[in-house]
Amino acid sequence: MGQDHILSVTDLRIQYGRVQVLHGVSFDVPAGALLAIVGPNGAGKSSTLSAIAGGVAGAGDVRFDGRSILGLKPEAIARSGLSFVPEGRHVFGSLSVEENLRIGTFMRGDRQRLEQDLQLVLTYFPKLKERIRQAGGKLSGGEQQMLVIGRALMTRPKLMLIDEPSLGLAPRIVEEVYAILQRLRSQEGVSILVNEQSSRRVMSFADEIIVLRDGRVQLKGQPSDLAKSHALHDAYFGTGTFDRDSGEAIP
């Protein structure tokens, strides 16, 4: 573990009441990488991101940008440069796209830099630029996803955590969202950790994939290596069988 890891999660455990849902999860996010946590429903993906962002309590260690953050308040973690985009696209429906982007940056004193950041976000998301005065609630699902990612970018994060960005979006829009995330990573140097239910969606975008099932890391690796074997399917589905074509579990 060194300075080249923007995030190091070590032996992370999460319990809701008496039920333990994460049983010692460990992984690193190299600085400037796009990593994806994939796994079936209930694997513990959302809980993992929430614990890193300070939303749920966890045990173990989470180091971000060189310091332990587990147990800190979400606002303090966000201020240190970690931006969390939770599942569900929390757009303020009656506010304009611009107001949605500016919200959360009112504490910033550097007005000039803020204007530059707004322009930068609009460069990455031209669809938001076209709809800058439109109410957030009028945007399509894909545009709303872009809006919440754009809003997260307005805080100039070093690391973005994004929970299921592709949920409910058409494949073409998913491609578009991931292409933008890839550009943000390579051109702006933002490190990105996403959750996805399906590994297929992120195979061509992620630098590394972490398979989570039953609250444990089952497998980690580069997509090109994982694609060569059946290990990815076996890790994802456990000992169960699956349809090779659709990738879906066979009950």
Ligand X SMILES: Nc1ncnc2c1ncn2[C@@H]1O[C@H](COP(=O)(O)OP(=O)(O)OP(=O)(O)O)[C@@H](O)[C@H]1O
**Binding-site ranges for ligand X (CB under 6 A):** 16, 21, 39, 41-47, 197
Q: Copy the structure tokens of residue 174.
A: 């998913």
Helix (H, G, I), strand (E, B) or coil at 2: coil
Q: How far is the CB of 249 from ligand X (least distance, A)?
A: 14
Nearer to ligand X, 45 or 201 (CB): 45
Q: How far is the CB of 41 from ligand X (least distance, A)?
A: 4
Q: Copy the structure tokens of residue 175.
A: 């491609």
Q: How far is the CB of 32 from ligand X (least distance, A)?
A: 25
Q: How far is the CB of 173 from ligand X (least distance, A)?
A: 19
Q: How far is the CB of 19 from ligand X (least distance, A)?
A: 6
Pairing of strands 208-213, 34-38: parallel
Nearer to ligand X, 37 or 154 (CB): 37
Question: Can you tell me the distance from the alpha carbon of 52 to that of 30, in angstroms, rounded to the nearest whole number?
Answer: 16
Nearer to ligand X, 10 or 20 (CB): 20
Helix (H, G, I), strand (E, B) or coil at 200: helix
Q: Copy the structure tokens of residue 127.
A: 């669809």
Nearer to ligand X, 21 or 132 (CB): 21
Q: Copy the structure tokens of residue 95.
A: 């506010």
Strand segments (E) across 75-215: 82-85, 159-163, 191-196, 208-213
Helix (H, G, I), strand (E, B) or coil at 29: strand
Nearer to ligand X, 46 or 100 (CB): 46
